[in-house]
Amino acid sequence: HGCMMADCGDWLEGQYVDDANKTVTMRLDELGVLLKLEFITHSYPHDWRTKKPIIFRATDQWFCSLDKIRDKLLNEIDKVNWLNEWGHIRIYNMIKERGDWCISRQRSWGVPIPIIYCEDGTPIMEESVFKHISDLFRKYGSNVWFERDEKDLLPEGYTNEHSPNGIFKKEKDIMDVWFDSGSSHTGCMKERGYPYPVDLYFEGSDQYRGWFNSSLIVGTAAHGVAPYKTVLSHGFVLDGKGNKMSKSLGNTVDPIKLVNQYGADIVRLWATSVAYQQDVRISDEIMKQISENYRKIRNTMRFVLGNLNDFKQTNLVAVEDLADVDKYMLVELNNLIDGYHQAYDNYDFADANQQILNYFTNLLSSFYMDFTKDILYIEKADSLRRRQVQTVLYYHAKVMMKLISPVLVFTAEELHDHFHCDDNKAESVFLEPNVEKITVENSNELKEYFDRFLLLRKDVLKALEGLRNEKVIKSNMEAKVTISLKDEYKDIASMLGDLKQLFIVAKVELVEDNSLEEYDSAYIKVEKFTGHQCPRCWNYFDEDEMEGELCQRCHDVING
């Protein structure tokens, strides 16, 4: 009750601790041994729940000594893969400087400390007694400690020289809860026959002094090695300004409200797009940006599936029969698969998401899908070139649905429901086999070649942007591009075929003229094309390329 006891003397007995402070001060003054009395306002520890000052008193406690295993603990720490690099330093210093671990707590609930005292206060610490109590716990649960008397907890007929009258008393303290959680690996893994140590421990960054710490101590002490091979920690969620969320500040974010507003997939995309190893922020503005990223992914996949509506597995074109630009897209898709899995192996979900988003935005959508619209919409439905492009889209659909499925769960399942190319598809996207890379010959050469082409394309688009800004053309389709390739880019033209289609312009001419405007890859001139526009494909042509009102290609498709 916070009052002084009889062994403190009659003059203090029964007084509340704060009142006793004053009594002691007065007694010192009366005895003439008080050198000086001064009142100082200072911080003082308070109970977080009741907000009242803490009372300190010395009591008997149980401790776990680290001295005998400290070197072993430090050695085990060095063997663990700490994915947050600072985590290794943090826990190493904690163990290095840590004193004995107080494992007893004075609470009315929890796992009891299985110690029984003799009449003279000697604790019974015998292996046979511990085993007997352990067997009782295993059979009846830890509550048996509170339900039975001391004699019923001891082996039948047990005697001890320190209790000549056969009187025993059980410990009332419980185990520190960190000792409970720190030994969970034994119950969850070793007791069930699973491998030990486990692959991964994953918790909040506060657990270096908690679960990671206690698990390391208990696991190493009991089994000789750390209980985990890898440790990964995450930060905490803050508001948009970086402040800790608090009901009193009114800056909390209700996840259920977020799900109702944005959908579960977008909330999952946010959670896996932030650098979770540190504290992360969330706000309406951040969620709107995540929603925009989701929209790009969804719209891209809508285009892909929409252009596979008349495509079946039987229409697949062999990879070796694809155009070089198609093969290049499959090479880049393979690279995305590798990068994605590498990111997941390192638990870098944000990088995996960003790789997918970058691929959708910078390559699949703004490059391949952009120029192949002309093929998908204009060519004859079952033409080889159209089937080649659909083959590329087919492989992208199969791969992308699986890659986004761990995060965009419902979206991936919805896409799978609308994917009708495979007659024997699984009931769910999550029952589909894992994605495999597509074999493409000369992958490295193709990548090196088209990477340089994309640099040329970037320069051409930069030149065309100037023409649009000057209001000379409304779209790139109205432009004529004259290119003089620099020496290291001259081999590009030999493989690419129709540059006009790849650049989505009216006409491309390759010349040898270094007097044109210089760019990194070539000397380039852009101007408005003065030919005829086909009303079906909207492309521009010279007069001799027209067949009446239509271009030659559209005329052949319609009359084919």
Same-domain status, 147 and 9: no
Using alpha carbons only, give the angle 99, 100, 103 rounded to the nearest 5 degrees.
Answer: 135
At residue 316, the pLDDT reads: 96
At residue 276, the pLDDT reads: 83
Secondary structure percentages of the chain, helix, strand, coil, to 5: 50, 10, 40
**Of 431, 449, 480, which marks where a domain is finished?**
431
- For residue 506, the domain's CATH number is 3.30.2320.20
What is the block-wise mean pLDDT of the chain (560 residues), using blocks of 10 residues?
90 93 93 91 91 87 92 95 90 92 90 94 94 94 92 92 93 93 92 93 91 95 95 84 75 82 92 84 85 93 95 95 95 97 92 94 94 95 96 96 96 96 93 93 92 94 94 93 92 78 93 94 94 93 92 91
Asked if the structure places residue 143 within a domain, the reply is yes
Contact present, 218 and 196 (Cβ < 8 Å): no
Task: Tell me the whole-structure pTM to 2 decimals.
Answer: 0.78
Which residues make beta-bridge pairs with 483? 510, 524
Asked if the structure places residue 543 within a domain, the reply is no
Asked if the structure places residue 179 within a domain, the reply is yes
At residue 245, the pLDDT reads: 73
Same-domain status, 90 and 157: yes
Asked if the structure places residue 554 within a domain, the reply is no
Q: Looking at the 3D structure of the chain, how many domains does it have?
A: 4
Cα–chain center distance at 379: 43
Question: Cβ of 548: how many Cβ atoms within 10 Å?
Answer: 6
Same-domain status, 322 and 217: no
Q: Which of 377, 401, 399 is nearest to 309 (CA)?
A: 377
Same-domain status, 133 and 105: yes
Q: What phi and psi, each to the nearest 5 degrees, are found at residue 69?
A: -120, 5
Same-domain status, 39 and 75: no
Asked if the structure places residue 337 within a domain, the reply is yes
Asked if the structure places residue 5 within a domain, the reply is yes
String of DSSP letters for 27-93? HHHHTT-------------B-TTT-PBP--------EE--TTTHHHHHHHHHHSEESSHHHHHHHHH
Contact present, 188 and 194 (Cβ < 8 Å): yes
Return the SS3 of 238. Answer: strand
What is the Cα–Cα distance from 558 to 536, expressed in whole angstroms? 10
Instruction: Provide the angle, in degrees to the nearest 10, between the axes of the packed helices 552-559 and 370-378.
Output: 40
Same-domain status, 53 and 127: no
At residue 491, the pLDDT reads: 84
What is the Cα–Cα distance from 327 to 318, expressed in whole angstroms? 10
**Of 233, 251, 276, which marks where a domain is finished?**
233
Which pair of structure tokens corresponds to residue 332? 């880049």
Asked if the structure places residue 89 within a domain, the reply is yes
Return the SS3 of 388. Answer: helix
- For residue 173, the domain's CATH number is 3.40.50.620
At residue 274, the pLDDT reads: 85
At residue 48, the pLDDT reads: 87
Same-domain status, 83 and 210: yes
Task: State the residue range of the domain holding 523.
Answer: 457-529
433 — alpha (psi -120 to 50), left (phi > 0) or beta?
Answer: beta
Dihedral sign, CA of 430, 432, 433, 436?
Answer: negative
Same-domain status, 420 and 479: no
Same-domain status, 53 and 92: no
Same-domain status, 224 and 76: yes
Q: Which of 316, 299, 300 is nearest to 421 (CA)?
A: 316
At residue 254, the pLDDT reads: 79
Asked if the structure places residue 348 within a domain, the reply is yes
Which pair of structure tokens corresponds to residue 190? 């070793």
Same-domain status, 327 and 288: yes
Same-domain status, 396 and 366: yes
